[in-house]
Amino acid sequence: MSLRALLTPKPRLDHGDQIEIDGLPLRLRVHAGARRISLRLDSRERIVVATAPDRSRLPDAVAFARQRQAWIAAQLARLPEPVAFAPGRVIEVEGRPCRLERAAMRIRPTFKPATADEPARLLAYGDAEVFARGVIRGLKALATERLMVRTAAHAAALGQPLPEVSVTDAKARWGSCKQAHRGQPAQIRYSWRLILAPPAVLDYVAAHECAHLIEANHGPDFWAINARLHPALKTSRAWLKTHGQRLHAAGQG
């Protein structure tokens, strides 16, 4: 190694930096609550995240990732290909085929249920990115409608007031629940991508989050409530674990 190389300071690594290890994308993350260095696949962003307890350990996180290159490559290779939302493409909505169609005029994105003669359709206006954004708006609206119904049913079954419901594009969670506190109503957030899954899977997540209205943790009492609300708990949970990455690939092309 040359003297210049020895004297040249190494670039300082920081939280949020994105680097490559032999062509493999890696994002660095600092999390004070982390007990050790770890690697996690972010299937939506199609990148592996290396987490360290503090910034001084980020070089160790990079070194650890270099040791696990084969694992990183295998995880990225298993990701489903991104699926762009484009006119003519057939995607799955509520677990069944749905054709994306360009509307002839500027309209609110509209979902048309399947008939005996053709699959469901989702109409949106515009080209390229404008069309794709319209499709997402339509899917979000449909997800909100379905999730409101299932949340209301599960909350009523538990004798709980209807929480505030919102639909987002969360990266790491299918849903989250904030319990009622000091006069403020409970809040439940869901990923709009649940509308791409079969209705039973969407219902499972709604039941899961409503169980949190009573039990904040994931202890035995929580799972007992969840199973009472959604008896097919194990089946629906397994489906989401198996196919969740495919849901995140939708609209990413």
Question: Residues 85, 140, 83, CA angle at the centre, nearest 5°?
Answer: 20
Mean per-residue pLDDT over the chain, rounded: 91
Strands, E assignment, the chain: 18-21, 24-30, 38-42, 47-52, 90-93, 96-102, 110-112, 120-124, 164-168, 175-178, 187-191
pLDDT at 6: 46
Question: Which segments of the chain belong to CATH 3.30.2010.10?
Answer: 90-249
pLDDT in tens, 21-61: 888 899 999 998 888 999 988 877 888 899 999 899 999 99
Residue 109 CB neighbours (<10 A): 21
pLDDT in tens, 107-134: 999 999 999 888 899 999 999 999 999 9
pLDDT in tens, 60-85: 999 999 999 999 899 888 888 888 99
For the entire predicted model, the pTM comes to 0.80
The domain defined by 90-249 folds into Zincin-like (3.30.2010)
